[in-house]
Amino acid sequence: MKARLRNFLGILGETFWIVPGLMVLFGVFLAVGLVSLDRSGLVPTALLDSPWLYNGGGTGARTLLGAVASSTIGVAGTVFSITIAALSLAAGQMGPRLLRNFTKDRGNQITLGTYLGTFSYALMVLRTVRTQSEGEFVPHVSLSVGILLAFVCVATLVFFVNHMAGRINVDTVIELVSRDVSAALARLGNDQADPAPPAPDMWRGAEPVVDARRGYLQQLDHEGLATWAAEHETSIRLLARPGDYLFPGAPIALVSPRVEGVGEAIRDATALGPQRISSADLEFAVRQLVEVAVRALSPGINDPHTAMSVLERLGAALCELAPRYLPSGVSVKDGRPVLVVPRVDYDGLTDTMFHMIRQNAAGSAAVLIRMVEVLTAVVSCEHQVSRVDALQRHADLVLGDGERSIATAADLDDLRARHRRFGIMRQHGPAAVIGGDRPPSHGDARFGLT
């Protein structure tokens, strides 16, 4: 249940209409409250006669509020059209999966909400205005606030134009998605290593748990399911992790020993949806960045600079991860593993980051060279041997692809030189790289590798 609630709140937070809807309600209630203040007679006469408040008649008030209402709803339509145009541009050049970064953008939501809220406010005040023939009532305070809201809408329009001009910039989009990657690493990474997964022999004879649902696993109440397994003296091994697609009728978990209610417990601890989300799925945020690079390398766009910018963000994410540990997905209670969830390991993470970009960059010497340079930067701050070996594997793959696809000898020599620098950085550290391709003759300190 906690996973479903968390999933619902996450979806609600990214829904485009929530903020504009709340601002419309705020405009309505603000109008009702200020009109009641005008009717109450609590506003001092001196303030009513001051130049700071509207002091015209009913006809002028109606004209003014009508102008505010008509202009704000017209500009709201323009704002919506500009947003749709930006979404179309983003979908064509950067991938449709990045649309959520525009729809969840608070700047777009607040801009639309400001105009719709002002429109609603003007209508609510307009209906209370009475001319002299109708028994005159002019809500001076409400009219003055309406004028103020009109100026706020003007300022909001200037903000929106500048905001959208920056948001459709590909470097801005890359930076926004890279923040999602960094946030996911900060949320999922640990300062200490988790317990290692139990040996496969533990699951011999385990009973499969079949799930009839379909969809992407979006949220998992890890702690709640582990507590349930400990209370029922059983161990559960999930066969899917957040981001995986569940097929109806396929096993979702193994349980040893089998206990009553395990299927219901797993259903209560998981939330499924029609698409992947990044809140609990590290690979999804990474794939968004990779998709930008792959589209940039397509023949129709041919923008290697964007691909190199993505590689730099991926390298920065790996450097942030260097002092931290990825979770193993193992929960231990009372000295025994009660829940094992598949997790992204370092090899899988780097494969997701670099494989597709390398495969689509065949023949592009600039991108392949930059990829090796990024790997060199990452290996300079990484101290775990298994991770360094994974980085070495990707550097070797890049060199192999370059030797097969780069026709110009000078470009290939540059790539080989970068690969040699990677090896020197791995073995001897930055001082050796500054000194050139030849490693130092004294000793062979492995630069702090453990």
- DSSP labels for 129-162? -B-GGG--B--HHHHHHHHHHHHHHHHHHHHHHH
Given a cut of 60, whether residue 445 has pLDDT beyond it is no
State the residue range of the domain holding 269: 200-273
Q: Is residue 184 domain-resident?
A: no
Same domain for 290 and 229: no
Instruction: Tell me what pLDDT residue 98 has.
Output: 64
For 83-140, write each residue's pLDDT tens digit.
777 777 666 666 666 666 667 788 888 999 999 999 999 999 999 998 877 778 889 8
d(CA 106, CA 112): 10
CA proximity to 381, closest of 372, 371, 391: 391
Same domain for 132 and 25: yes
Q: What is the mean pLDDT of the chain?
A: 85
Split at pLDDT 50, 70, 90, the class of 279 is low
Which tops the pLDDT comparison, 199 or 155? 155
Q: Is residue 337 domain-resident?
A: no
Q: Is residue 75 domain-resident?
A: yes
Residue pair 118/65 in contact by the 8 Å Cβ criterion: no
Given a cut of 50, whether residue 442 has pLDDT beyond it is no
Split at pLDDT 50, 70, 90, the class of 222 is confident
Q: Is residue 296 domain-resident?
A: yes
For 319-351, write each residue's pLDDT tens digit.
999 998 888 889 888 888 999 998 888 999 999
Same domain for 360 and 232: no
Q: Which of 165-169, 220-224, 276-280 has the highest mean pLDDT?
A: 220-224
| Total domains in the fold of the chain | 3
Q: Is residue 415 domain-resident?
A: yes
Same domain for 355 and 287: yes
CATH number for the domain spanning 230: value is: 3.90.1170.30
For 206-221, write each residue's pLDDT tens digit.
899 999 999 999 888 8
Same domain for 414 and 314: yes
Given a cut of 50, whether residue 440 has pLDDT beyond it is no
Given a cut of 50, whether residue 441 has pLDDT beyond it is no
Q: What distances in angstroms separate CA 399 from CA 203, 303, 321, 359, 361, one per listed residue?
A: 41, 21, 25, 12, 12
Q: Can you tell me whether residue 172 is helix, strand or coil?
A: helix
Alpha helices in 302-364 (DSSP H): 304-321, 346-360
Same domain for 132 and 266: no
CA proximity to 293, closest of 427, 109, 95: 95
Residue carrying structure tokens 């004028």: 147
Same domain for 261 and 302: no
Same domain for 425 and 298: yes
Q: Is residue 332 domain-resident?
A: no
Instruction: Tell me what pLDDT residue 447 has.
Output: 37
Q: Is residue 365 domain-resident?
A: yes
> What is the average pLDDT across 69-86?
84
Same domain for 110 and 208: no
Of 12-16, 18-22, 169-173, the one with minimum mean pLDDT is 12-16
Q: What distances in angstroms separate CA 289 from CA 308, 343, 364, one per listed residue?
A: 11, 20, 19
Residue pair 307/374 in contact by the 8 Å Cβ criterion: no
Which tops the pLDDT comparison, 218 or 373? 373
Angle at 311 between CA 309 and CA 312, to 5 degrees: 65
> What is the average pLDDT across 244-254?
93
Given a cut of 50, whether residue 73 has pLDDT beyond it is yes
> What is the average pLDDT across 377-384?
92
Given a cut of 50, whether residue 438 has pLDDT beyond it is no
Residue partners of 29: CB distance under 8 A and separation at least 6: none
Q: Is residue 447 domain-resident?
A: no
Instruction: Tell me what pLDDT residue 446 has.
Output: 37
Q: Read off the amino acid at residue 425.
A: M
Same domain for 320 and 266: no
257 cis-preceded (ω within 30 degrees of 0): yes
CA proximity to 359, closest of 329, 320, 307, 401: 401
Of 5-9, 167-171, 384-388, 408-412, the one with minimum mean pLDDT is 5-9
Same domain for 286 and 206: no
Of 29-33, 121-125, 189-193, 312-316, the one with minimum mean pLDDT is 189-193
Same domain for 143 and 218: no
Backbone angles phi, psi at 339, to 5 degrees: -150, 130
Of 3-7, 157-161, 264-268, 337-341, the one with minimum mean pLDDT is 3-7
> What is the average pLDDT across 375-379?
95
Q: pTM of the predicted model, to two decimals? A: 0.78
